[in-house]
Amino acid sequence: MPSQAINTSSRTPQVDDAGRLKHFLTIEGLDKAQLLRLLDSASAFIGADTEKQKEQASLLEGHTVVNLFFEDSTRTRTTFEIAGKRLGAAVINLNPSRMSTRKGETVLDTVRTLEAMDTDIFVVRDHASGTAHLIARHVPPHVHIINAGDGRHAHPTQAMLDMYTIREHKGDISNLRFAIVGDILHSRVARSQIAALNLLGAREVRVIAPATLLPTEIERLGVTAFTDIDEGLKDIDVIMMLRLQLERMEGKLIPSTQEYFRCYGLNRVRLNRAAPGAVVMHPGPMNRGLEIASDVADSERSLILSQVTNGIAVRMAIMAQLVDAAGVQTA
Q: Binding to ligand CP by residue 158, rule CB under 6 A?
A: yes
Residue/partner pairs of 46-54 with CB below 8 Å, 24 or more apart: 46/310, 46/313, 53/86
Structural contact between residues 132 and 27, judged by C-beta atoms closer than 8 angstroms: no
What proportions of the chain, in percent to the nearest 5, are helix, strand and coil?
40, 15, 45
Residue 78 sits at the vertex; the CA angle it makes with 288 and 319, to the nearest 5 degrees, is 125
When the beta carbons of 155 and 167 are compared against ligand CP, the nearer one is: 155
Q: Binding to ligand CP by residue 257, rule CB under 6 A?
A: no
d(C-alpha 280, C-alpha 305), whole Å: 11
Which of residues 6, 37, 75, 92 is near ligand CP by CB under 6 A?
75
CA-based nearest residue to 181, from 205, 165, 204: 205
Helix, strand, or coil (residue 133): helix
d(C-alpha 233, C-alpha 216), whole Å: 21
Q: Binding to ligand CP by residue 310, rule CB under 6 A?
A: no
Which of residues 149, 156, 182, 210 is near ligand CP by CB under 6 A?
149
CA-based nearest residue to 122, from 55, 66, 81: 66
What is the contact mask toward ligand CP in residues 22 to 61, using x (rule: CB under 6 A)?
Answer: ----------------------------------------
When the beta carbons of 210 and 283 are compared against ligand CP, the nearer one is: 283
When the beta carbons of 285 and 327 are compared against ligand CP, the nearer one is: 285
Structural contact between residues 20 and 324, judged by C-beta atoms closer than 8 angstroms: yes
CB closest to ligand CP, residue no: 76
When the beta carbons of 201 and 285 are compared against ligand CP, the nearer one is: 285
Which of residues 76, 147, 165, 193 is near ligand CP by CB under 6 A?
76
Distance in Å, CB of 265 to ligand CP, minimum: 19
Considering only residues 55 through 74, tell me which ones interact with ligand CP, judged by CB under 6 A.
Answer: 73-74
Tell me the site size for ligand CP, rule CB under 6 A.
9
Contact region for ligand CP (CB under 6 A) — 86-94, 109-117, 271-279, 282-290?
282-290
When the beta carbons of 130 and 226 are compared against ligand CP, the nearer one is: 130
When the beta carbons of 64 and 158 are compared against ligand CP, the nearer one is: 158
When the beta carbons of 149 and 265 are compared against ligand CP, the nearer one is: 149
d(C-alpha 120, C-alpha 56), whole Å: 18
The separation between CA 43 and the C-alpha centre of its own chain, rounded to angstroms, equals 18
Residue 291 sits at the vertex; the CA angle it makes with 217 and 130, to the nearest 5 degrees, is 50
Which of residues 19, 62, 171, 285 is near ligand CP by CB under 6 A?
285
d(C-alpha 262, C-alpha 265), whole Å: 6
Helix, strand, or coil (residue 21): strand
Q: Binding to ligand CP by residue 309, rule CB under 6 A?
A: no
Which of residues 283, 292, 304, 313 is near ligand CP by CB under 6 A?
283
Q: Applying CB under 6 A, which residues contact ligand CP?
A: 73-76, 149, 158, 283-285
